[in-house]
Amino acid sequence: MADKLLDDLFHETLKDIYYAERQLLKALKKMARAAQSDRLKQAFEDHRAETETHVERLQKVFEIIGKPARGKTCQAIDGIIEEGDEVASEFKGTPALDAGLIAAAQAAEHYEIARYGTLRQWATQLGLDDAAALLEETLNEEAAADEVLTEIAESEGNQEAMNAKDG
Ligand SMILES: [Fe+2]
Ligand SMILES: [Fe+2]
């Protein structure tokens, strides 16, 4: 009984992150276009490419559990992406734009990190070791992407926003 429930929960959460990843593919493309610094643009483009792999890995996990790869609307990621859109339009053409885009992107990464951390743990509990390994690979890439964003924020994004205020 307990296993059956965890099984269902795993499948439902997989659908949630599958939807989120596919929305993020589109969002990252837009954010790369909106970003001002070349470094941030590149970071968004690189992570968009990684995100394609995340989608493929999820398709493999669906295969492992014998279910069709199908997403389910995730309001959390829709909200995070919407906030990013708002920042992009409100701060367009200002020195704070990149800092705002980084903040929005990090919210998305943290959402993914939370989801993949949970899914990996459940996969292990369910004895789905191959699925757990796939989920962990993506989890590590999300964490690395988050670190890159922190580094860019520290080295340029926030600095520019502050300089503009001082001057
Ligand atoms: Fe991802
Ligand atoms: Fe990500």
DSSP 121-138: HHHHHTT-HHHHHHHHHH
Residue 128 pLDDT greater than 90, yes or no: yes
Window from 43-52, 64-73, 153-162 with minimum mean pLDDT: 153-162
Ligand number nearest to the C-alpha of 110: 2
Q: What is the pLDDT of residue 4?
A: 77
Q: Distance from the CA of 130 to the center of ligand 2, in angstroms?
A: 21
> What 8-state DSSP symbol labels residue 69?
-
Whether residue 149 contacts residue 83, with contact meaning beta carbons closer than 8 Å, is answered with no
Range of the domain at 64: 6-163
Number of domains the chain contains? 1
Average pLDDT over residues 44-69: 98
Region 154-159 average pLDDT: 73
Q: What is the DSSP letter of 95?
A: T
Task: Quickly state the pLDDT bin for 167 (edges 50, 70, 90).
Answer: very low
Best CA proximity match to 75, nearest among 117, 19, 12: 19
Q: Quote the ligand 1 centre to 161 CA distance (angstroms).
A: 28
32: in domain: yes
Helix ranges (H only) for the chain are: 2-34, 38-64, 75-90, 97-125, 129-152, 158-166
- Within a domain: residue 138? yes
C-beta of residue 135 within 8 angstroms of C-beta of residue 61: yes
The mean per-residue pLDDT over the stretch 36-58 comes to 97
- Taking the C-alpha atoms of residue 16 and residue 113, their distance in angstroms, rounded to an integer, is 13
Any idea what the CATH number is for the domain that residue 72 is in? Answer: 1.20.1260.10
In a domain, 1, yes or no: no
Q: What DSSP character marks residue 92?
A: T
The ligand whose atoms approach the alpha carbon of 116 most closely is 1
Is 157 a residue whose pLDDT tops 60? no
Dump pLDDT digits (tens) for 91-113: 999 999 999 999 999 999 999 99
The pTM of this model reads 0.92
Q: Is residue 95 part of a domain?
A: yes
Q: Quick one: pLDDT band at residue 1, thresholds 50, 70, 90?
A: low
Answer whether residue 161 shows pLDDT above 80.
no
Rounded distance from Cα 112 to ligand 2 centre (Å):
6
Q: Would the pLDDT of 164 be above 70?
A: no
Q: Which of 34, 28, 38, 53 is nearest to 108 (CA)?
A: 28
Q: End-to-end alpha-carbon separation of the chain, Å?
A: 64
Q: Specify the pLDDT at position 156.
A: 79
Res 67 pLDDT > 80? yes
Is 80 part of a structural domain of the chain? yes
C-alpha–C-alpha distance, residues 116 and 135, integer Å: 6
Backbone angles phi, psi at 37, to 5 degrees: -80, 145
